[in-house]
Amino acid sequence: QVQLVESGGGLVQAGGSLRLSCAASGSIFSINAMGWYRQAPGKERELVAAITRGGSTNYADSVKGRFSISRDNAKNTVYLQMNSLKPEDIAVYYCNVKAWNVLGNLNDYWGQGTQVTVSS
Residue-wise pLDDT tens digits, 32-75: 999 999 999 999 999 999 999 999 999 999 999 999 999 999 99
CA nearest to 34, candidates 3, 5, 1, 69: 69
Q: Are residues 36 and 49 in contact, defined by beta-carbon separation less than 8 angstroms?
A: yes
CB 110 within 8 A of CB 93: no
Question: What's the mean pLDDT in 82-104?
Answer: 95
Torsion region of 10: left, alpha or beta (phi above 0 gives left; psi -120 to 50 gives alpha): left
Say yes or no to pLDDT of 120 above 80.
Answer: yes
28 pLDDT higher than 80? no
**pLDDT at 26 (0 to 100):** 86
Q: How high is the pLDDT of residue 103?
A: 87
SS3 65: coil
pLDDT exceeds 90 at position 30: no
Pick the closest to residue 69 from 41, 37, 101 (CA basis): 37
pLDDT of residue 102: 84
- Distance from CA of residue 83 to its chain's centroid? 14
Least confident of 25-29, 67-71, 88-92: 25-29
